[in-house]
Chain A
Amino acid sequence: MIKAILVFNNHGKPRLSKFYTYITEEMQQQIIKETFHLVSKRDDNVCNFLEGGSLIGGADYKLIYRHYATLYFVFCVDSSESELGILDLIQVFVETLDKCFENVCELDLIFHVDKVHYILNELVMGGMVLETNMTEIFTRIDEQNKLERQEAGLAAAPARAVSAVKNMNMNLSQQIKDIKLPDLPQAIKDLKF
């Protein structure tokens, strides 16, 4: 069983956290902090297994991690998982991210945590490995994205336009937000008969 999946950057900022058993938010942060502490002090050329995540699980649990550029991908698993298997799984996860985001970088994870979660959900479910075949995973994700686009359709066009503007210039969007517009919906409501 996988107990938790954590992604954080070189400074310990969490980019994704998924706990498959209930742990309070406060504890979650502590675990992330401790795990970062354990992982970050290790050289890149040492092995990728770690014991002693005392906050998570205990003796039966291991931390298995990989370090990609600015991000650490850490899986906390018990002894029923194969260590090398999990390393492969991390690789599959990252490759899938790469495929979905087209050259994934930390920023993608920062701004699209939700999407990362959806991708992860196609790999692991409730702490058990769901699928390891990349093409299968990608098909599932793609089909769900299609569904989402269909639903959005025309109705989402304005929102998309605005977010495009926002992306172009953040300050501008801030200004838009700051301008006190008349309560437009209310006005429209008044027009209603």
Chain B
Amino acid sequence: MALKKVKGNLERIFDKNLTDLVRGLRNNKDNESKYIAQCIEEIKVELRQDNAAVKANAVTKLAYLQMVGYDISWAGFNVIEVMSSPKFTHKRIGYLAASQSFHADLEMLMLTTNMIRKDLSSQNQYEAGVALSALSCFVSPDLARDLSNDIMTLLSSTKPYLRKKGVLMLYKIFLKYPDALRPAFPRLKEKLEDPDPGVQSAAVNVICELARKNPKNYLSLAPVFFKLMTTSTNNWMLIKIIKLFGALTPLEPRLGKKLIEPLTNLIHSTSAMSLLYECINTVIAVLISISTGMPNHNASIELCVQKLRILIEDSDQNLKYLGLLAMSKILTTHPKSVQTHKDLIMRCLDDKDESIRLRALDLLYGMVGKKNLMEIVKKLMVHMEKAEGTTYRDELLTKIIQICSQNNYQHITNFEWYISVLVELSRVEGLSHGSMVASQMLDVAVRVHAIRPFAVEQMSLLLENPYAIFGMALGSARPPSMIQVLYAAAWICGEYCTFLSNPKKTLLGMLDSRMVQLPHNIQSVYLQNCLKVLAHLLPSQSKGPPATANLLTNGTEEGESEDLPDQNAKENEDSAVEPEKINLAEIQEYLKPFISSEELEVQERAGCLNNFIKCYVKLESKGQVDDFGELSKELANAFSSELNPVASKAQKKVPVPEGLDLDAWINDPPSDSEEETTETTDVFVKTHTAADFGSNLTEKKKVPELSEEELGKMREARKQEQNLNPHYLKSSSKPTNSKLVNWSDDIPPVEKLDLSVPLQIPTLASSDKYLQESKQKSSKSKKEKSSSGKKKKKKKTKGKESEEEEEDVEIEAETVHVVNTVIEMPEGATLSDTEESALAFDDPHRALDIDLDIPLDPPPEVAKTKASRKSDPNYIKKSKEKPKEVEVTNSETHEEVVVEPSVNSIKKTKSSDSKNKSHKKHKKHGKKEKKSKQSDANDDNLLIEME
């Protein structure tokens, strides 16, 4: 024996230890991987030896290599071997390596169960402690199930160190094995009153984590926490408790009322900034949940805002950051209180710290109003020029768009300004939100009718001078994201081509041979919109004198205001006005590079356009004037109908039609449960009549019963949709609803509006102009109210227009343009944006949503199994079987968020019921009612207790 020991030690002397490995790595910086490969070979040799110390040494080195980024899972068995060593020193090394490299999916973990159990019950508290620390990192569902009882026994250990670790471990157990929560919860609750503050704190920690995701189940603990909050002096625990209350108050406003006073006291008394900050946060949460009915409600808000101001003004950047963060929470409910500190927030925009600037930006959206929007955006634009780093610029861009577009462009009074801001943004280099700017342009152009002429004008400038605006970057391999703006520009010019001042120029601009370098999606849009422009131009040519048959004419004046069909007629009459000639052959020439594009979409569209022109020219040359006249008109008509905005979520909200069961099989799967097979044979044997079959279907399918309210909503939505759908035949008695008719009535006022602003801008409009204009205006209007005659007129006509069009649009005195707030939604859809699913589907906390107030019936099953395990030689086999059972129950209760506790009796009744779904639903409903009653009763107790 002694000899063996000596031998082992002698061997050890010459092995590399961790220090040598690290040194070696530092000395072999150039050929690190080679050196490590060599080390790993040595480690492998060492692991093969019998000596535990040698192995432990090898494993230490492995743990280091793991940190440097090497996969050491191949040594899993050796790690387990070292973990099972009787010596604490080795054990600790083993567990360290395990905690770094093991994970829950490892099959090897099965081998560790008994060893860990032994360590947990070790006489040496540190052995158990080391095991717990490691287990918390790699616990798997199997381990959690098998060891949950051992952890429970640790909770009643005499050593606070173990109780503390045991309590924390429970949380990990619950996550992996939710069934453990019910039986363990009473014990966990006891630990809230443990004599040791560390254990107490750990218990608070665990319950906070649990309650964060499923707060409603922990409301009944409020009195205990309330007591802890008022008595404890441990700031760590206080912070946790106060955070927990923040999560609980939205569910129980009465709790919030109780909290205000002690929290306010804490705010006044504490010197710890962390605690102060959390108190403020929770007070804010409370005030949000009980927005009315508080006597000194405003006082508390004021106190919070005041304290936050102190934080923001502090020289410590961390406090500043957090202060702004909390401010943004107040902003949602009490914007006025925050607005008084506008100066402070604006100052933070200039802070040198990017994080702080970002937080201040978050607050900005609450600071803007109609009056200062232009100014604030101007400021942000200046920031953008100065800012280094593209992420911050991108953030600025998104914020500008966000504050401008919030609430359907609520704060924008002049859309010409907004369009020019967007155009300016598109010229800033290095931004990556081009598509966002593009979609804003589209949105504004589609929804604000009056802005279209201006938008088209600006966009055509973009289209005609892409090189001037985007520079040579156009042709580079990775074009800047901003180039997507051209997509919007092309679409707007094509769709509203009647407003184009010089369609030919725009058309040729889009067909410029250099445009082949653009991204393909933009090219496609270009071609499609060329067709639109062409379709707009051709009809005017049809009645022209034969000599100019090849020439296209166009009338700018009429084009701006007329809707297409009407306009065609008029234009044909005045075709002599300002004739501009365009050669179709020339266009065909231009199309050539596009036709040979390598991108299918581009090629196809170009080919289409080319063939259309060919066809047209052919008809024309045959002199079939009528034919090609008709053709061009038909074509123009194809693009004439108005495109309405469609809600972004419309597709998702298309309701499932009655009688369609999406979960039903279209073809029955080959082999399934017996029930189904008998059913199908039934169909064949009895040969149901159609009626029979139909009734069968309706019986089986649970047609969702709609309440009166829902039906009403559906009806309303349908009406709305019918009104907006140009293809829907409407009763002629209500012509005001039809946009096409109405639109032409509205034209004159719009024209006047255009005149009020100089339209002939040589280059792109600058947003500054509007800023100055608005400033002048406001000062003017202050001086003499009656001077703005034009403006008044605008107001009136605008009001009229919007009244006729959509009554729900609020007309503001200064608003120049009206936003179309009606967006198309599918029949039966509601506009609400409530997207539930609070917890992600894969969130382990889903399974932990267990009502803990329902008394636990029969003795916990787990205790029994443990007793039987000891005597049962087939224990391992059993444990293998068990997971299957768990799986089955899980799949059965899949749809429900509430997973029932482990008590077997409930499970059984459930699975038998699960086939009868309607019954189940009913039952669930009843349970819920019961639950809510119960919790009500509990809450009353809770409040009494707290008093």
Contact = CB atoms under 8 A, between A and B. Distances in A.
Interface of A: 1, 14, 16-18, 20, 22, 24-26, 28-29, 43, 45-51, 80, 82-85, 87-88, 110-114, 117-118, 121, 125-133, 136, 140, 143-144, 147-148, 151-152, 155-156, 158-159, 162-163, 166-167, 170, 173, 176-177, 181, 184-185, 188-189, 192
A136 B103 CA distance: 30
A84 B19 contact: no
Contacts of B70: 25
Interface stretch (B202-210, B516-524, B654-662): B202-210
A126 B69 contact: no
Interface of B: 3, 5-7, 9-14, 16-20, 22-23, 60, 63-64, 66-71, 87-89, 92-93, 96, 100, 103-105, 124, 126, 129-130, 132-133, 136-138, 161, 164-165, 168-169, 171-172, 198, 202, 205-206, 208-209, 212, 236, 239, 243, 273-274, 277-278, 317-318, 320-322, 352-356, 358
B3 A125 contact: no
Nearest to A33: B69
A130 B164 CA distance: 7
A177 B14 contact: yes
A155 B239 contact: no
Contacts of A192: 3
Given A49-B321, A118-B96, A155 B9 contact: yes
Contact of B208 (A28, A80, A156): A80
B20 A173 contact: yes
B88 A147 contact: yes
A151 B89 contact: yes
Given A25-B66, A88-B274, A162-B13, A125 B132 contact: yes
A22 B318 contact: no
Given A80-B212, A83-B322, A113-B64, A158 B168 contact: no
A132 B60 CA distance: 27
B355 A47 contact: yes
Contact of A131 (B138, B164, B171, B278): B164
A87 B133 contact: no
Contacts of B9: 155-156, 158-159
Nearest to A32: B69
A158 B7 CA distance: 11
Contacts of B208: 80
B126 A144 contact: yes
B18 A111 contact: yes
Q: Which 10 A-B pairs have the closest CB atoms?
A: A126-B136, A84-B274, A22-B103, A47-B317, A46-B353, A29-B69, A47-B321, A162-B13, A121-B133, A82-B239
A168 to B, nearest CB: 12
Given A45-B317, A126-B169, A16 B67 contact: yes
Given A84-B277, A144-B126, A159 B12 contact: yes
A147 B3 CA distance: 25
Contacts of A20: 136-137
Interface centre among A80, A126, A181 (most CB of B within 10 A): A126
Nearest to A49: B321
A184 B168 contact: no
27 contacts: A18-B100, A25-B69, A29-B69, A47-B353, A49-B321, A84-B322, A85-B236, A110-B22, A112-B18, A114-B18, A117-B96, A118-B96, A126-B133, A128-B202, A129-B205, A131-B164, A131-B198, A140-B126, A144-B88, A144-B92, A148-B88, A155-B5, A155-B9, A163-B17, A170-B23, A177-B14, A192-B3
Nearest to B315: A45
The dominant DSSP class at the B interface is: helix
Contacts of B23: 170
Nearest to B237: A132
Nearest to A170: B23
Nearest to B213: A80
Nearest to B234: A132
Contact of A14 (B68, B71, B92, B321): B68
A121 B126 CA distance: 12
A111 B318 contact: no
Nearest to B64: A113
Given A47-B321, A49-B318, A133 B14 contact: no
Nearest to A107: B22
B842 to A, nearest CB: 13
A183 B904 CA distance: 63
A133 B138 CA distance: 26
The dominant DSSP class at the A interface is: helix
Nearest to B272: A84
A27 to B, nearest CB: 10
Given A22-B103, A155-B5, A188-B3, A46 B198 contact: no
Contact of A47 (B20, B136, B168, B318): B318
B168 A82 contact: no
A55 to B, nearest CB: 15
Contacts of B132: 125
A46 B352 CA distance: 8
Contact of B317 (A46, A133, A147, A167): A46
A128 B239 contact: no
B398 to A, nearest CB: 14
Nearest to B93: A114
Nearest to A159: B12
B209 A133 contact: no
A132 B64 CA distance: 27
A60 B345 CA distance: 24
A46 B354 contact: yes
B60 A114 contact: yes
Nearest to A15: B67
Given A47-B317, A128-B206, A163-B17, 14 more contacts: A14-B67, A43-B352, A45-B352, A46-B354, A51-B355, A84-B277, A121-B130, A126-B171, A128-B202, A140-B126, A140-B129, A148-B89, A162-B13, A167-B19
Nearest to A30: B69
Contacts of A26: 69
Nearest to B161: A140
B165 A82 contact: no
B355 A49 contact: yes
Contact of B71 (A25, A130, A136, A156): A25
Contacts of B212: 80
Contact of A84 (B17, B20, B169, B273): B273
B10 A158 contact: yes
Contacts of B352: 43, 45-46
A2 B105 CA distance: 21
A82 B132 CA distance: 25
Contacts of A151: 87-89
Contact of B172 (A16, A110, A126): A126
A77 B14 CA distance: 43
Contacts of A82: 239, 243, 274, 277-278
Nearest to B63: A114
Contacts of A159: 9, 12-13
A35 B904 CA distance: 47
A163 B22 CA distance: 14
Given A16-B67, A25-B70, A159-B13, A130 B202 contact: yes
B15 to A, nearest CB: 9
Nearest to B90: A151
A132 B236 contact: yes
A126 B168 contact: yes
Contacts of B104: 22
Contact of B19 (A24, A166, A185): A166
Contacts of B137: 20, 126
A25 B236 CA distance: 33
A55 B12 CA distance: 41
B96 A130 contact: no
A23 to B, nearest CB: 9
A24 B20 CA distance: 26
Contacts of B169: 125-126
Contacts of A17: 67
Contacts of A173: 20
A148 to B, nearest CB: 5
